[in-house]
Amino acid sequence: MELNNKEQAAEFLNLGLQNLANGNFQGALHYFSGAIKLNPDCSDAYHNRGVCFLNLNNSDAAINDFSHFLASNPNDRFALHYRGVAHNRKGDYGLAVADLSRAAELNDGNANVFFQRGVAYTNLGGFESNDKAIQDFESYDKAIQDFNKVIELAPDYHLGYSYRALCYYQKGDYDQAVQDSGKAIELKNDDTLAYLSRAKAFSKKGDFDKAIKDFDRVAELYPDDASVYFDRAKAYHEAGKYEQAVRDFTESIRLGNTELYLSYHNRAVSYYNWSVYDKAVEDYSKAIELNPNFFDAYLNRGAVYAEQKNDYGAIKDFSKAIELNPHSIQAYQNRAIVYERNGSAAEAEADYRKIAEMRNFLRDPMFYGLPGYTPI
């Protein structure tokens, strides 16, 4: 007997489910698509095809299919959960929170729902930005609450601890970040996020040897990741190990750090502290070539020129720094000192007056502003 379209669609659905159970997502996708073509009202085919798309990292297609399924099944906790995961992967964290919150209401015993929502809140906190002024600490608090729930429901899930450690780090609670990272590492000794969070927390606490040891472990796990060498270089620099810092900044350059101008700039700072001034000037110049409006590079190269008694170069760089940041007292102060030294009393006096306008400035023979890191 010849099967009608709905019966054929049911056959395709069953074949798709068999393939899905065996982890053959492409094969399952083929059958679920066939079922939908034969019977566009087969909502289960949309749901399961969405699962395939999610496993095949096609978030847009997964969202479309889960949305189609949810139109007729609005309270399905699984579809809400999975669509929330897809939104997370796309970076649509607000939409992820909405779906995952609804899924949590329908099933408050699923640790992964809370974990995924915690990840969304962490990203809403803005942890990838180094500017604390634009981070949302309320989102970190919400994330911590979710990771608390994850740990309650799944106490051996290492990522619950490592993500909570990241949030504590972003909030400035470095002791708690170290503690949670340690627990994550105890549960899984190759948890990269935990090593990174602990390394950065150790650096903030001034324990650079422990920070470097953790960065060493991350470098073992990801030897081709430029950011690992960049971060370890900063720890070496803060520990006063400038030669090692230069080596790691060089490796981050070789591997193509995403913000290459910062690698050159920070290597210049290490060269300066290592008293290799010519190399410092070369690297500041390269940073400026890559980012012509990089205030710190002009300010710091000017300081090196001042040390070398290159007054013309120093004044030119401090003037450019002032052009880029007219409110920089340090740039005006450094230029005034150089003007005074070369006998340009009127120009020096004008800079001191400008400083006095910006604050109650007491003139005294201060050192040139030493090169420093741009917050990264």
Question: What's the pLDDT score for residue 368?
Answer: 42
What is the pTM for the complete model shown?
0.85
Question: What's the pLDDT score for residue 126?
Answer: 79
- 175: number of Cβ within 10 Å: 10
Could you give all domains of the chain from N- to C-terminal order, each with its CATH number? 259-376 (1.25.40.10)
Average pLDDT by stretches of 10, the chain with 376 residues = 77 96 97 96 96 97 98 96 98 97 94 97 79 71 98 97 97 97 98 97 97 98 96 97 98 95 98 96 98 98 95 97 95 96 95 86 44 39
Question: What's the pLDDT score for residue 5?
Answer: 85
Burial class (CB in 10 A: 0-12, 13-18, 19+), 375: exposed
300 touches 286 (CB < 8 A) = no
Which of 311, 302, 310 lies closest to 338, judged by CA?
A: 311
Question: What's the pLDDT score for residue 366?
Answer: 43
181 touches 194 (CB < 8 A) = yes
Question: What's the pLDDT score for residue 369?
Answer: 45
Question: What's the pLDDT score for residue 127?
Answer: 65
Question: What's the pLDDT score for residue 367?
Answer: 39
Count of residues in the chain: 376
Question: What's the pLDDT score for residue 129?
Answer: 53
